[in-house]
Amino acid sequence: MRSDAIKKGVERVPHRALLHATGVSRRDMSKPFIAVATSFNDIIPGHIGMRDLERFIERGIAAGGGVPFFFGIPGICDGVAMGHPGMRYPLALRELIADSVESFVNAHSLDGLVCLTNCDKITPGMLMAAARLDIPTIVVTAGPMLSGRYKGKRLSLVGDAFEVVGKFKRGEIGEADLACFEMESCPGAGACQGLYTANTMACITEAMGMSLPGCATALAVSAKKRRIAEESGEAIVRLVKKNVTSRSIMTRKAFENGIRIDLALGGSTNTVLHLLAIAREANVSLGLKDFDRLSKQTPHITDLLPGGKHFMEDLDYAGGIPAVMKRLKSKIAVCPTASGLSTHQIADRAVVSDENVIRSIDEAYHEEGGIAILHGNLAPRGAVVKQSAVSEAMSVFTGKARVFEREEDAQKAILSGDIKSGMVVVIRYEGPKGGPGMREMLAPTAAIVGMGLADSVALITDGRFSGGTQGCCIGHVSPEAVERGPIAAIKNGDEILIDLPRRKLELKISAKELKSRLKKVKIPAPNVTGGYLLRYSRMVSSADEGAILKPF
């Protein structure tokens, strides 16, 4: 075992003495040592229930014959960080998480790893570490939140907290209703109720085989989630004894399975960034072209929030990810999983309990998957859109640019009524380097919806979007403005063409004019002058590469 490096031989007497000081017995020294990375904290709703799940993981590891060692990993709530400078940190945190897990596990020569995680950047950071370490690993995502309730209507964070701000501004609801939406939209523990980034990443993790069947959709407050946590603790010990490492599960075919499930569900655009980064750590070749190729082959078979009407609880009751895999069995590859079953064995055992929540391929909501990759003179290296959340009226759209140099200015203009039908809101200098940290734009996109402009206004940015975004919102525009990408050359009033069927994003000016404008661009001063974000901005790559940190 790897842990023999800290517990075998006479020269390891001092190491064993320190381990004995923690309560480890002599008998424990012959057992696998299992690291449990937990991102518990008191400020993220998706994480506040982890103390309970830690107990069940610990029980499972002990029952399986292992010794658990818990350690903490930082987390950020994207919703709380949204719409202000704090949103520069979550994507950058992904790298710190990967480095922290690597450091703890390798420094202590531990044999296996359980990642207890949830929410937007924490799960990808854990998976990056798992791929980098290439030791036996299993992931326990802490589960979705129950829907809220108000006046007989089910509520979600995005639709009934973010988007109601715009509705209040235009007088559609009053202060009493606004206060009730604030109190009732998030009733307790769990990741936000729709297919936003947290739950999308949980679904992809399960589809790739890194979580046990049912884990992604099992509600945070359920006994089912507790049982999965305990079973995961037992499973990691089996994986260690059989030496089933993370890279033996996270293969090229597994990544494609994960992408297909994402596309079939209509998941978050952030998954593009994360899967590119995780694949790099796993030494798997993956690029934007793979997402678009698979999207054209994979139908969109669910209608989940934010673009649809169903909640994560509906997906769980309908059979969860195993049931989605059953629908897509002809399209997904046979791959091993942490459960010991193959992907096809999981699909064969699954039951689709609600034909409307998880439709057949023949009755898909859309022929193509949820994500599309656009190119053109505005995005030579690509841009990303959640096409499943775009109305048919906006799938081909030409509008006049209204340019903003930061998110806050765009948000103010939208809520004040300055943005009119037929405009394309452009928010730039918000990319990985320019932000830095590639802020999510949920506040302005939700404001556009709340102001009733979702079918007449588009938004493009070199930043990114929350998984809760809906409407014609195009992000990850590469190269970004701070690298003199074409988005830096847009002027107010320029015509911009968005054509999703043809995968086009075009600024309607000549190549000569575009080149001339880019030469004259004045890059603004950095938004940060010190600390981690300054280091991050100097090392981070473009969005089309996954916004990874490049080696020196």
Last residue of a domain, one of 186, 212, 234: 186
* Whether residues 181 and 115 fall in one domain: no
Q: What is the mean pLDDT of residues 355-369?
A: 97
* Whether residues 72 and 217 fall in one domain: yes
For residue 376, give its domain range: 372-545
Q: What is the mean pLDDT of residues 31-49?
A: 98
Would the pLDDT of 83 be above 70? yes
* Whether residues 87 and 217 fall in one domain: yes
* Count: domains in the chain: 3
* Whether residues 106 and 159 fall in one domain: no
Give a yes or no: residue 324 inside a domain. Answer: yes
pLDDT in tens, 270-301: 999 999 999 999 999 999 999 999 999 999 99
* Whether residues 153 and 220 fall in one domain: no
Give a yes or no: residue 25 inside a domain. Answer: no
> If phi over 0 gives left and psi between -120 and 50 gives alpha, with beta otherwise, what is residue 491?
beta
Give a yes or no: residue 24 inside a domain. Answer: no
Last residue of a domain, one of 299, 315, 349: 349
Give the whole-angstrom CA distance, residue 307 versus residue 183. 23
List, as one string, the DSSP characters of 263-331. Answer: HHHT--THHHHHHHHHHHHTT----HHHHHHHHTTS-B---BTTTSSB-HHHHHHTTHHHHHHHHTTTT
Phi, psi of 372 (to 5 degrees): -130, 150
Here the CATH number for the domain that contains residue 410 is 3.50.30.80
Contacts of 164 (CB under 8 A, 6+ apart): 173, 177, 178, 181, 450
Would the pLDDT of 528 be above 70? yes
Would the pLDDT of 237 be above 90? yes
Q: Using CA atoms in the order 122, 127, 129, 134, what is the torsion angle rounded to 10 degrees?
A: 160
Closest CA to 302 of 348, 334, 331, 266: 266
Would the pLDDT of 551 be above 80? no
* Whether residues 528 and 458 fall in one domain: yes
**Burial track 127-149 (b if 16+ CB lie within 10 A, e otherwise):** bbbbbbbebbbbbbbbbbbbbbe
Q: What is the mean pLDDT of residues 483-494?
A: 98
Would the pLDDT of 225 be above 90? yes
Give a yes or no: residue 416 inside a domain. Answer: yes
* Whether residues 254 and 136 fall in one domain: yes
What local confidence, expressed as pLDDT, does residue 552 receive?
A: 60
Q: Is 446 helix (H, G, I), strand (E, B) or coil?
A: helix
**Verdict on whether the full-model pTM lies above 0.95:** yes
What local confidence, expressed as pLDDT, does residue 364 receive?
A: 98
Give a yes or no: residue 328 inside a domain. Answer: yes
pLDDT in tens, 419-463: 999 999 999 999 999 999 999 999 999 999 999 999 999 999 999
Token reading at 132: 């980098």
Q: What is the mean pLDDT of residues 54-70?
A: 98
Distinct helix (H) and strand (E) counts, the chain = 22, 14
* Whether residues 182 and 193 fall in one domain: no
Give a yes or no: residue 196 inside a domain. Answer: yes
Annotated binding site: 78, 120-121, 440
Give the whole-angstrom CA distance, residue 139 versus residue 36. 10
pLDDT in tens, 4-34: 999 999 999 999 999 999 999 999 999 999 9
* Whether residues 54 and 181 fall in one domain: no
DSSP H helical ranges for 65-121:
78-81, 90-107
Give a yes or no: residue 492 inside a domain. Answer: yes
pLDDT in tens, 143-187: 999 999 999 999 999 999 999 999 999 999 999 999 999 999 999
* Whether residues 208 and 313 fall in one domain: yes
**How many beta carbons lie within 10 A of that of residue 337, not counting itself?**
24
Query: What interhelical angle do 531-539 and 90-107 show, nearest 10?
Result: 90
Would the pLDDT of 60 be above 80? yes
* Whether residues 134 and 172 fall in one domain: no
Here the CATH number for the domain that contains residue 35 is 3.40.50.2300
- CA quadruple 439, 185, 324, 40: dihedral sign: positive
List, as one string, the DSSP characters of 344-377. Answer: HHHHHH-----TTTS--GGG-SBSS-SEEEEEET
211 is catalytic: no
The single residue of 100, 211, 456, 466 carrying the catalytic annotation is 466
Give the whole-angstrom CA distance, residue 267 versus residue 120. 12
**Burial (Cβ within 10 Å: 0-12, 13-18, ≥19) of residue 126:** buried
* Whether residues 284 and 336 fall in one domain: yes
% of residues, the chain, pLDDT over 70:
100
Give the whole-angstrom CA distance, residue 321 versus residue 477. 31
**How many beta carbons lie within 10 A of that of residue 455, not counting itself?**
16
What local confidence, expressed as pLDDT, does residue 165 receive?
A: 94
Contacts of 449 (CB under 8 A, 6+ apart): 163, 166, 470, 471
Would the pLDDT of 192 be above 90? yes
Give the whole-angstrom CA distance, residue 190 versus residue 213. 18
Annotated binding site for Mg(2+): 78, 120-121, 440
Give the whole-angstrom CA distance, residue 314 versus residue 304. 9
Give the whole-angstrom CA distance, residue 447 versus residue 158. 11
Please write down the HEC assignment for all residues of 165-181: HHHHHCCCCCHHHHHHH
Give the whole-angstrom CA distance, residue 484 versus residue 290. 26
Q: How far is CA 122 from the centre of its chain?
A: 9
Last residue of a domain, one of 127, 157, 186: 186
Give a yes or no: residue 296 inside a domain. Answer: yes
